[in-house]
Amino acid sequence: MKVPFLDLKAQYNSIKEEVLPAIFDVLDNTAYVMGKPVFNFEEQFAKEHNVKYCSGVSAGTDGNHIVLWGLGVGHGDEVIIPANTFIATAWGATLCGATPVFVDCHPESYNLDPAKVEAAITPKTKAIVAVHLYGQPADMDPLKAIAEKHNLYLVEDAAQAHFAEYKGKRIGGLSDACSFSFYPGKNLGAYGEGGAVTTNNDELAGKFKMIRDHGAVEKYHHEMYGHNYRMEGIQGAVLGVKLNHLGKWTDGRRRVAAKYRELLSDIEQIKLPTEMDYSKHVYHLFVIQVKGEEGKERSERRNALQKYLGENDIASGLHYPIPLHEQKCFADLGYAKGDFPVSEELAEQGLSLPMFPELTDEQINYVSEKIHDFFK
Ligand SMILES: *Cc1c(COP(=O)(O)O)cnc(C)c1O
């Protein structure tokens, strides 16, 4: 049996009859950039996330940049970012000319550890970026308290967390602003690049709309610096169709996670992801940790399991194999291996199992069987 990591084709086939006419409509109307399908999607997406404003943009990375740019983050400022995230979170800060300051993740949630944030704050700190990694919301309340105490902005990177809930409320409007990604493999994926920024702040929402479109509301009247970060019409149309299915797909991911949990909980050499009591996890990824063995490299057994699964036609992934503070591009920032032990352990032991809503029980059983075989 073959188990891919992700099966975009299965999802496409299931909505083909609905999504193709929506795409052809955009072509017929020649509204290739922004336009009605984008505006309709923005309205619907904001409503779904209980947030006042949503602006569709060209990618999640661009959203990370727009959020901090709109808040006025710039040269000489510092931005607190988890060491365990995809690098695009950090680009939000660097593109503003600011310096990313890394903080370790919490050993259970794998998100920014509120207990470690305050030690990283300096007079230059301007903002904290909470990433809802793997689909689980970061612990927003303590982060908000820290941000308020030190007069900092708090923003969210929800690239992996559409429809996730924190204390019963969907993320997206829980901080000053939030960015989303619609990269094809994300829980809500476009048929190309795409992203969005959301906020409840009227003034900030206005800035976001200007920044994405050359700093202008009215064509050729440029009120502030900006860029071309617009969303394409086809992506808006695709996302509008797909958003109506996201609830069902999210349930599908949670079903897969529950099944993995049921089947794998007896293996003591692995640690399953923890769903925190404050969160409704949407399982963009299902990351297990394969515990290292005494006297061996900590990643050795994880790597061996990945190889074994691969030999049995089961795809898996590493998210992320190198924490941000160990990336070559940030060598100038002066971090060293050992600075963020929780993120480093996760990088060396983490293994992402196949995860998408259409995974069948048969496939999940097969993955579990092979993992059991490996440890036998
Ligand atoms: C995917 C991702 C991004 C970037 O989104 P793109 O749409 O690919 O630019 C940013 N942050 C995180 C945590 C991501 O997973």
Look at residue 29 in the predicted model and tell me its pLDDT: 97
Structure-token pair, residue 169: 């409320």
CA 57-72-50 angle, to 5 degrees, is: 50
The CB of 110 under 6 Å from ligand 1? The reply is: no
Look at residue 92 in the predicted model and tell me its pLDDT: 98
Look at residue 181 in the predicted model and tell me its pLDDT: 99
**Cα 180 from Cα 214, distance rounded (Å):** 20
The CB of 68 under 6 Å from ligand 1? The reply is: no
Q: Which domains are seen in the chain, by residue range? A: 8-243 (3.40.640.10), 246-375 (3.90.1150.10)
Look at residue 208 in the predicted model and tell me its pLDDT: 98
**Cα 310 from Cα 2, distance rounded (Å):** 10
**Substitution site in 85, 89, 94, 193 for ligand 1 pocket (most atoms within 8 Å of beta carbon):** 89
The CB of 187 under 6 Å from ligand 1? The reply is: no
Look at residue 232 in the predicted model and tell me its pLDDT: 98
Look at residue 322 in the predicted model and tell me its pLDDT: 98
* Spans of the chain, pLDDT less than 50: none
Look at residue 148 in the predicted model and tell me its pLDDT: 98
**Strand partners of residue 311:** none
Q: Name the one residue in this structure whose structure tokens are 């990945």.
A: 306
CA 149-154-159 angle, to 5 degrees, is: 155
Look at residue 48 in the predicted model and tell me its pLDDT: 98
Structure-token pair, residue 206: 């206005």
Q: Name the one residue in this structure whose structure tokens are 């959020």.
A: 67
Ligand 1 atom closest to residue 195's alpha carbon, by position in its atom list: 7
Structure-token pair, residue 146: 């820290």
Q: How far separated are the first and last CA of the chain, in Å rounded?
A: 20
**Cα 61 from Cα 159, distance rounded (Å):** 9
